[in-house]
């Protein structure tokens, strides 16, 4: 394997903060890639992170210093392609070592058309984002003036419907379990489909599918998936969920959790720098048990704005609502990722709870 020659590159945030590094991944027209800069604290699982559609519109910074050590393989991809705008790492491994590796990360990024930058002081960058908040940035081989202008011109994800760019165009099926589940694809991950498919025959439908079309399929339950961006911009999904509540059991994860809350009358807001990582402590309100969770979201539900539902889980780092349980209808949701991929498996019991909810509602 011949290493790609290093090319000097810069990362410039919208506030002018600049970082020096070297270009990796794809060569983009004009030498510029831009998006909202966020950081993820996972120690492994970089491929699952990069292929999570929830990162649409964002540049992902990995806080772990060595990325690419074990390469990339087709099995660990969470979607058909990466939807993120770029990748920032401290030290890119040029020679992966793992029996499952099919190619190195740099080659994969070039093949997928995703640019990256390595050699960045990611500790300094992460501390800056924590203090100043997630903000647009631009990186590449262009000069600093061009990159600063691109960063300033890059819009925030607030108010933008990013779901429309990642959802499936046509319905498709997955799994062969005994239940019948319709899953809304707001940016669904394959690891979620694998777990749902163990207990249900799943039909995945586009994000814009009306409630009437879903109910006509006579499902035992409806799943609301994860996805990118601002839930307030996905009004069509909120309308559909309102038409489903009380008619069929509903289970939501991440964006699906926020959309369920909005359908119940709740409000959402943007977190300062979001939750992105594989080790967030979440407490179950009912018994006080603590789960270590995988998270990837920038928005959350406003405390006290969701009538008819109780908070079932709460983030111990900052108190953010991490779970909802409806009082009078069969519906619940969590903000975090019980399927992990990557991350701990503490919360996989929630899929069993969905199965129990469907059984109680009369599923065969």
Q: Could you list the active site residues?
A: 254, 337, 339
Give the span between the Cα atoms of 297 and 144, in whole angstroms: 30
- Return phi, psi of residue 140, to 5°: 145, -165
- In angstroms, rounded to a whole number, what is the distance separating the alpha carbons of residues 353 and 154? 41
Decide if 79 contacts 112 (C-beta within 8 A). no
**Matching residue, tokens 């991809």:** 77
Contact (CB, 8 A) for 55 and 78: no
Residues 6+ apart with CB under 8 A from 125: 11, 19, 37, 39, 61, 88
Task: Provide the token pair at 332.
Answer: 């619940």
Tokens of 175: 């799994």
Pairing status of strand 33-40 against strand 135-140: antiparallel
Phi and psi of 264, rounded to 5°?
-85, 0
């Amino acid at each position: 394997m011949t290493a790609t020659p290093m090319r000097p590159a810069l990362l410039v945030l919208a506030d002018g903060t600049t970082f020096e590094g070297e270009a990796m991944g794809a060569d983009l027209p004009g030498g510029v890639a831009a998006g909202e800069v966020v950081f993820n604290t996972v120690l492994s699982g970089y491929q699952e992170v990069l292929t999570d559609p929830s990162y649409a519109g964002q540049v992902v910074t990995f806080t772990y210093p060595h990325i690419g050590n074990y390469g990339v393989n087709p099995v660990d991809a969470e979607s058909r392609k990466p939807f993120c705008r770029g990748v920032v790492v401290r030290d890119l491994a040029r020679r992966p070592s793992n029996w499952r590796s099919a190619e190195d990360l740099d080659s994969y990024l070039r093949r997928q058309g995703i640019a990256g930058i390595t050699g960045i002081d990611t500790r300094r960058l992460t501390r800056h984002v924590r203090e100043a908040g997630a903000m647009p940035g631009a990186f590449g081989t262009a000069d600093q003036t061009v990159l600063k202008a691109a960063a300033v011109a890059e819009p925030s994800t607030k108010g933008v419907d990013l779901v429309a760019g990642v959802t499936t165009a046509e319905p498709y099926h997955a799994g062969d379990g005994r239940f019948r589940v319709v899953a809304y694809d707001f940016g669904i991950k394959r690891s979620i489909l694998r777990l749902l498919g163990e207990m249900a025959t799943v039909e995945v439908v586009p994000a814009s599918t009306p409630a009437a079309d879903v109910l006509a399929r006579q499902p035992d339950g409806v799943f609301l998936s994860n996805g990118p961006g601002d839930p307030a911009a996905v009004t069509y999904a909120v309308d559909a969920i309102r038409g489903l509540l009380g008619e069929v059991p509903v289970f939501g994860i991440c964006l699906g959790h926020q959309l369920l809350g909005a359908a119940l009358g709740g409000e959402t807001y943007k977190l300062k720098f979001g939750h992105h990582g594989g080790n967030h402590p979440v407490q179950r309100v009912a018994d006080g048990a603590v789960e270590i969770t995988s998270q990837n979201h920038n928005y959350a539900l406003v405390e006290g704005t969701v009538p008819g539902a109780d908070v079932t889980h709460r983030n111990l780092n900052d108190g953010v609502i991490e779970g909802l349980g409806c009082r009078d209808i069969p519906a619940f949701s969590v903000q975090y990722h019980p399927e992990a991929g990557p991350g701990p498996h503490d919360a996989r019991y929630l899929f069993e709870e969905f199965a129990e909810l469907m059984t109680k509602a009369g599923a065969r």
